[in-house]
Amino acid sequence: MTGRIIPREIISKSVLNKTGIPGCDYCLNPYVGCTHACVYCYASFMCRFSGHKEKWGEFLDVKVNAAEVLSKQMGGRSQPCGKVIFGSVTDAYQPAEASFNITRSCLLRLAQYQLLEVDILTKSALIERDIPILQQLPGCRVGFTITTIDNHVARIMEPGASAPARRMKAARKLVQAGLPVWVFIAPLLPGLTDRYEILEDMLMQFQDVGVEEVLVDCLNPYPAVVHRLKAVYRQFFPRSLAALEDYVSHPAGCENMVEAVLRQLSTSTGCKVRLA
């Protein structure tokens, strides 16, 4: 289920929480931690709030009472409404969900209440399991983070996530089921996924799947993230290390170049793509 990681069951007092994420009113994180173990993950800052000594990607807490708590919050005097995003600092469909069904249970409760629009962002093909529930949710929209379509790069950078081809297949199934699907290319990896021809190939494949919108996010050079990436680049992608170091030194200039590339690609491919 999660390899050597043994999930810890915890009890939560609240699962539906206010968020400052643009376009969303609430966030819901069914788990603490994420076993996708992406090298570039920004959510690693959550380690200091988790009570764990393990590194990010090496522990997982399961909010086993999440659905019951959600029902109480939805049934209170002040009933929440607006938009909720699943997985702001975790992936709601990471491997453990196949056994624990916490996300599924929460979605079933939301389908009963019909008060909140649901956004989900995931790197997992497991979401296709819940298509019948997603179809019952008002305004449900699903995003797939697809950082790369290169299996070699994906295995190194996001070892616990579904393979890119599986995510693409799941995206196609959701589109065929009538659900709006978008793709998040995040983050762009300097020297590995930021070249014009690579992005063009990705966009063409996304269009073929039926994706409505593509957002691209440049790498945020947080020191901890850069430290992890440099170690991985040195070991597996030494020829691209200079590109990473150049980006870290001049992120604004690189972002301007990426924005120009995306404008060209939007015109040449006809795909709706923009910088996040």
Do residues 143 and 245 share a domain?
Answer: no
pLDDT digits (tens, 9 = 90+) for 71-80: 999 998 888 9
Domain enclosing residue 62, as ranges: 1-163
Strand order in the sheet with 31-32: 8-10, 61-63, 31-32
175, part of any domain: no
Q: If we measure between CA atoms, which residue out of 64, 54, 66 comes closest to residue 5?
A: 54
Query: Residue 273 above 80 pLDDT?
Result: yes
pLDDT digits (tens, 9 = 90+) for 115-133: 999 999 999 999 999 999 9
| Residue 230, helix vs strand vs coil | helix
170, part of any domain: no
Query: Residue 12 above 80 pLDDT?
Result: yes
For residue 234, the number of C-alpha atoms closer than 13 Å in the C-beta half-sphere is: 7
Query: Residue 2 above 70 pLDDT?
Result: no
Q: Which residue has the higher pLDDT, 47 or 88?
A: 88
Q: What is the pLDDT of residue 77?
A: 81
Do residues 155 and 197 share a domain?
Answer: no
For the segment 235-244, the average pLDDT, to the nearest whole number, is 98
pLDDT digits (tens, 9 = 90+) for 142-160: 999 999 999 999 999 999 9
CA dist 139 and 25 (Å) reads 14
Q: What is the pLDDT of residue 187?
A: 97
Query: Residue 106 above 70 pLDDT?
Result: yes
CA dist 232 and 57 (Å) reads 15
Mean pLDDT of the chain: 93
Single residue among 131, 163, 195 that ends a domain in this structure: 163
Query: Helix-strand-coil percent breakdown of the chain, rounded to 5?
Result: 45, 15, 40
231, part of any domain: yes
Share of the chain above pLDDT 70, in %: 96
Do residues 105 and 203 share a domain?
Answer: no
pLDDT digits (tens, 9 = 90+) for 168-226: 999 999 999 999 999 999 999 999 999 999 999 999 999 999 998 999 999 999 999 99
The terminus-to-terminus CA distance of the chain in angstroms comes to: 33
Do residues 9 and 123 share a domain?
Answer: yes
Using a 10 angstrom Cβ sphere, with 0-12 exposed, 13-18 middle and 19 or more buried, the burial of residue 38 is: buried
Do residues 83 and 218 share a domain?
Answer: no
8, part of any domain: yes
Do residues 85 and 190 share a domain?
Answer: no
Please report the beta strands in 30-76, taking only residues with DSSP state E, as ranges in sequence order.
31-32, 61-63
Q: What is the pLDDT of residue 51?
A: 66
171, part of any domain: no
CA dist 189 and 172 (Å) reads 25
For the segment 227-246, the average pLDDT, to the nearest whole number, is 97
Do residues 59 and 10 share a domain?
Answer: yes
Do residues 124 and 204 share a domain?
Answer: no
How sure is the predictor about 61, in pLDDT bands with cuts at 50, 70 and 90? Answer: very high
Do residues 139 and 235 share a domain?
Answer: no
Do residues 105 and 140 share a domain?
Answer: yes
Q: Is the peptide bond before 238 cis (omega within 30 degrees of 0)?
A: no
Do residues 157 and 24 share a domain?
Answer: yes
The tokens describing 57, both together, are 């990607």
| Residue 222, helix vs strand vs coil | coil
Single residue among 115, 133, 163 that ends a domain in this structure: 163
Query: Residue 1 above 50 pLDDT?
Result: no
173, part of any domain: no
Q: Which residue has the higher pLDDT, 3 or 206?
A: 206
Q: Which residue has the higher pLDDT, 54 or 111?
A: 111
pLDDT digits (tens, 9 = 90+) for 38-60: 999 987 666 565 666 778 788 99
Domain count, the chain: 2
Contact 66, 38 (CB under 8 A): no
Do residues 126 and 214 share a domain?
Answer: no
